[in-house]
Amino acid sequence: MRILIIYFSMSGRTKKVVETIFEGLKGHDVQIERIEYPMKARNIISNQEKILNGDLSDFTYNKIIENLAPYDLIFFGNPVYGGRQPAIFDGYLTKAQNINGKKFVIFCTCRFLAGKTLELMQTEIEKKGGIVANKRVFKGFFRIKMTKAQNFAQELSQELL
Taking only the tens place, the pLDDT of each residue in 21-79 is 999 998 899 999 999 998 877 777 788 899 998 999 999 999 999 999 999 999 999 99
Please state whether the predicted TM-score (pTM) of the whole model is above 0.95.
no
- Among 4, 69, 64, 67, residue whose Cα is nearest residue 30: 4
- pLDDT in the model for residue 46: 82
Residue type, 11: S
- pLDDT in the model for residue 106: 97
Find the helix packing angle between 13-24 and 146-160, rounded to 10°. Answer: 40
Residues 92 and 55: beta-carbon distance below 8 Å: no
Residues 68 and 96: beta-carbon distance below 8 Å: yes
More confident residue, 143 or 133: 133
29: phi then psi, degrees, rounded to nearest 5: -80, 95
Cα–chain center distance at 84: 13
Q: Hey, which residues does 33 pair with through a beta bridge?
A: 6
Looking at 3.30.160.100, 3.90.1300.10, 3.40.50.360, 2.60.40.10, the CATH number of the domain 2-160 comes to: 3.40.50.360
Residue count of the chain, please give it. 161
- pLDDT in the model for residue 116: 93
- Among 112, 106, 124, 135, residue whose Cα is nearest residue 52: 124
Which segments of the chain does DSSP mark as H helices, in order?
13-24, 41-46, 48-52, 87-95, 117-127, 146-160
Assign 153 a pLDDT band (cuts: 50, 70, 90): very high
- pLDDT in the model for residue 65: 97
- Among 126, 133, 47, 130, residue whose Cα is nearest residue 91: 47
Each residue's pLDDT tens digit, 90-141: 999 999 999 999 999 999 999 888 989 999 999 999 999 999 999 999 998 8
- pLDDT in the model for residue 161: 54
